[in-house]
């Protein structure tokens, strides 16, 4: 579709613009050395590229900047993934070489390191509970009308919730119920927990426990909402402010409001988008993002999974003028390392 020369020039323009943030003119491309043509020739090609929709001009007498389509073509066909710097490799390795820690911590730490290495904002979606199972359930009374309920999953995730104890229930009855739950429901996937509740232990409850109905609804309260509950970790949010495209407060504001809104964020980061050559890395450029607030941002995401089961996502958010080569490269590395870690962790 594009001639070799056009690809060469487009690459040069995108690279230039990524590092300078200013419209790039024919003269500066010509001077770079890697494109051996005069400004005039380059100008002709640039006019063609603009007609084809890969470039645009902020105003008549300015240089060109890549359009979304231009970035997309660049990411899909032109970007060259050079090697990571030693520092980057070191930082990544050391992260996964640490002592055994909770899965969530690793994800969080990874995201924060990515934000530091790239100077963009990282958004990490913590592991979901799709295939996690109940490891342990506990109900600890704090006083006569309150108790704290604790759920531990096989992945080591701990959820807790304070609940009211229905009046007239003794401690021994609570214990009985908790024991019943642990023996009958241990190993059951969290998402099936509520449906299994009646099936497995409804009868026994009615037989052995007074106030059975109250107890069941108590347990239901504890379980409710937890399936959908996902942690979102943000890091490097102030990095955004370093980018010249966000020197305007209004633009920051809409983005920031999105970042504060966890559910919207989950939707944004989870949406499907352009996939980068089957590596699980997705690149969403500008309006390819579902949310208007980041329609002039690019979001690059990597998912982490175990046994083919997608657990969560790590994303990097920056301007469309993003260092795609560096970021995609980093993401690939991280994705691989995370996969190894998860395999080991889940055994």
Partner DNA sequence: CGTTAGCACTCATCGGCGTCGAGTGCTAAC
Partner DNA sequence: GTTAGCACTCGACGCCGATGAGTGCTAACG
Binding site for DNA (CB under 7 A): 23-28, 36-41, 43-44, 46-47, 50, 57-64
Partner in contact with 43, chosen from a copy of itself, DNA, none, beta carbon below 5 to 8 Å by kind: DNA
Residue 63 interacting entry, from a copy of itself, DNA, none, C-beta within 5 to 8 Å by type: DNA
Span between the terminal Cα atoms of the chain, in Å = 47
Residue closer to DNA by CB (options 59, 307) is 59
Which of residues 81 and 140 has its CB atom nearest to a copy of itself in the complex?
Answer: 140
Radius of gyration of the chain from Cα atoms? 26
CB of residue 122 vs a copy of itself: minimum separation in angstroms?
13
Length of the chain in terms of residues written: 347
Q: Does 138 help bind a copy of itself (rule: CB under 8 A)? A: yes
DSSP letter (8 states) at residue 120: S
Cβ(246)–Cβ(284) under 8 Å?
Answer: no
Is 247 exposed, middle or buried, given 0-12, 13-18 or 19+ CB atoms closer than 10 A? exposed
CA–CA separation, 155 vs 129, rounded Å? 9
Binds a copy of itself (CB under 8 A): choice among 7, 69, 91, 161: 161
Please report whether residue 109 would count as binding a copy of itself according to CB under 8 A.
Answer: no
Shortest distance, CB of residue 240 to DNA, whole angstroms? 22
| Sites for a copy of itself among residues 201-260 (CB under 8 A) | 237-238, 241, 246-249, 252-253, 256-257, 260
Candidates 306, 311, 305, 266; CA nearest to 130 is: 311
261-277 burial: b if 16+ Cβ within 10 Å, else e: eeeebbebbbeebeebe
Q: For residue 305, state whether it binds a copy of itself (rule: CB under 8 A).
A: no
Q: Give the interface with a copy of itself as residue ranges (CB under 8 A).
A: 99-102, 105, 135-136, 138, 140, 142-143, 145-146, 148, 150, 152, 154-156, 158, 160-164, 237-238, 241, 246-249, 252-253, 256-257, 260, 347
């Amino acid at each position: 579709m594009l001639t070799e020369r056009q690809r060469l020039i487009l690459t040069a323009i995108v690279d230039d613009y990524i590092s300078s943030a200013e419209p790039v003119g024919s003269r500066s491309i010509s001077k770079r050395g890697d494109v051996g043509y005069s400004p005039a020739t380059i100008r002709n090609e640039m006019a063609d590229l603009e007609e084809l929709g890969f470039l645009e001009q902020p105003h008549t007498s300015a240089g060109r900047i890549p359009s979304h389509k231009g970035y997309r073509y660049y990411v899909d066909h032109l970007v060259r993934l050079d090697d990571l710097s030693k520092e980057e490799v070191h930082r990544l390795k050391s992260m996964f070489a640490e002592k055994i820690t909770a899965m969530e911590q690793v994800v969080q730490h990874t995201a924060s390191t990515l934000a530091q290495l790239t100077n963009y904002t990282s958004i990490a979606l913590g592991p979901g509970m799709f295939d996690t199972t109940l490891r342990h359930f506990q109900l600890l009374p704090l006083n006569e009308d309150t108790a704290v309920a604790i759920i531990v999953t096989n992945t080591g995730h701990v959820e807790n919730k304070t609940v009211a104890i229905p009046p007239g229930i003794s401690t021994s009855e609570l214990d009985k119920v908790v024991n019943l739950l642990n023996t009958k429901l241990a190993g059951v996937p969290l998402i099936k927990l509520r449906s299994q509740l009646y099936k497995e232990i409804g009868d026994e409850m009615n037989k052995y426990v007074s106030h059975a109905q109250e107890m069941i609804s108590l347990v239901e309260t504890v379980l409710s909402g937890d399936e959908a509950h996902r942690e979102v970790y943000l890091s490097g949010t102030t990095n955004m402010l370093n980018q010249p495209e966000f020197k305007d407060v209004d633009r920051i504001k809409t983005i920031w409001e999105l970042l504060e809104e966890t559910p919207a964020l989950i939707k944004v980061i989870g949406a499907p988008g352009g996939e980068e050559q089957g590596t699980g890395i997705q690149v969403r450029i500008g309006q390819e993002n579902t949310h208007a607030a980041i329609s002039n941002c690019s979001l690059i995401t990597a998912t982490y999974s175990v046994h083919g089961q997608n657990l969560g996502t790590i994303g990097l958010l920056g301007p469309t003028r993003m260092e795609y080569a560096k970021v995609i490269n980093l993401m690939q590395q991280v994705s691989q390392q995370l996969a190894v870690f998860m395999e080991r962790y889940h055994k």
